[in-house]
Amino acid sequence: MSKRPRTLETFFAQPSKRARAVPDDAASNMERNTTASAVSNHPSYPFAVPHLPPELQELLNFAPSAEGQIINDRPDLDLLYYQPYVPKEASRDLSEFLRRELFFYRVGYKIKRGSIETDIDTPRFTTVFGIDETARFDADGRPVDATTGKATSNTYKCKPRPMPQCLDALRQLTENSTGCTFNFALVNYYASGNDSISYHSDDERFLGTEPAIASFTLGAKRDFLMKHKPTPANDASETKPMKLPLASGDMVLMRGLTQSRWLHSIPKRKGGEADKGRINITFRRAMVKGGTENYYHYNVGNGEVYKWDDSKREMVQWRNPLSN
């Protein structure tokens, strides 16, 4: 059995000072990266990512905060819905921490249907961490074959990177409470109600059959819509669309036939709660290297790095202070 990626202690620096829990402005954001008690780093990271503050880590140890509700009253649907999973005392701080400390991308890509090529701009900020089951990270953070331990970096077109501690801690909690195994963390930031994702299913072959996907909401409440894929076999009343109003700290575990038979989306919403910004974390398990290539292509791409600017209250392009 192949090993799962782990946040490696050799990636972590140990500066002597500890940052304040919440910075006052953009300058404080930069200060946090050098004064946090511990950070996660990797050659593919544009900058280091601080570990969770001890007080926040302690609160997460009480997760899940509520028992998961099984939703399987419709054909082919199998959900475990936590309201919430992350304790209420921690969800706001965790949301602000991840928005402030992670790096994001606004990915653009092309799709081709027949002879027609279309430019697509992802309507949300994205980032991704992890590597598929065929590989793992060695002590120096290099991708190596999961079985032989030999270097595999030249077989990937992308640059896989391990999860920072702030995400890996949540992954481990999720695995322990669900019995599922994950090797990828995809993070979406919906900056406003204009950011969305259209109806789709995560049924790619590289996820294997009947994949389990854990989806967390932090920050603004957003509607999560689901509808059954068109089929003449089921009665329309049994497969009518459903809506889950996902609040901060909630988690939905989608499993069984859900991905192969159902579609889900986060629709646009004008103003109000949606404009406060929502972070979505999904933990997944990619089985082959095609999954690694796919996730980095569509969630990192070749675009600019973005980082939260607390003084402007928005994502801005990050400029490396060491470059000219």
- Band (pLDDT 50/70/90 cuts) for residue 16 is very low
Of residues 232 and 307, which shows the higher confidence score?
Answer: 307
- pTM of the predicted structure, to 2 decimals: 0.85
**Average pLDDT of the segment spanning 295-305:** 94
How much is the pLDDT for 237? 57
Q: Is 6 annotated as a binding residue?
A: no
Of residues 230 and 249, which shows the higher confidence score?
Answer: 249
**Average pLDDT of the segment spanning 63-68:** 96
Q: What percent of the chain has pLDDT over 70?
A: 86
Q: Is 302 annotated as a binding residue?
A: no
How much is the pLDDT for 238? 63
Q: Is 278 annotated as a binding residue?
A: yes
d(CA 284, CA 133): 11
Q: Is 284 annotated as a binding residue?
A: yes
Q: Is 264 annotated as a binding residue?
A: yes
Tell how far CA 176 is from the center of its chain.
Answer: 18
* Selection from 244, 236, 239, 214 nearest residue 227 by Cα: 239
3 state SS for 98-120: HHHHCCEECCEEEEEECCEEEEE
pLDDT tens digits for range 168-199: 999 999 999 999 999 999 999 999 999 999 99
Residue 209 CB contacts under 8 Å (≥ 6 apart), including other chains: none
**Average pLDDT of the segment spanning 6-12:** 42
- H or E segment at 147? none
The architecture that CATH gives domain 9-317 is: Sandwich (2.60)
Average pLDDT, the chain: 87
Of residues 12 and 72, which shows the higher confidence score?
Answer: 72
pLDDT tens digits for range 22-46: 333 333 333 343 344 699 999 999 9
How much is the pLDDT for 33? 39
Q: Is 190 annotated as a binding residue?
A: yes
Extents of the domains making up the chain: 9-317
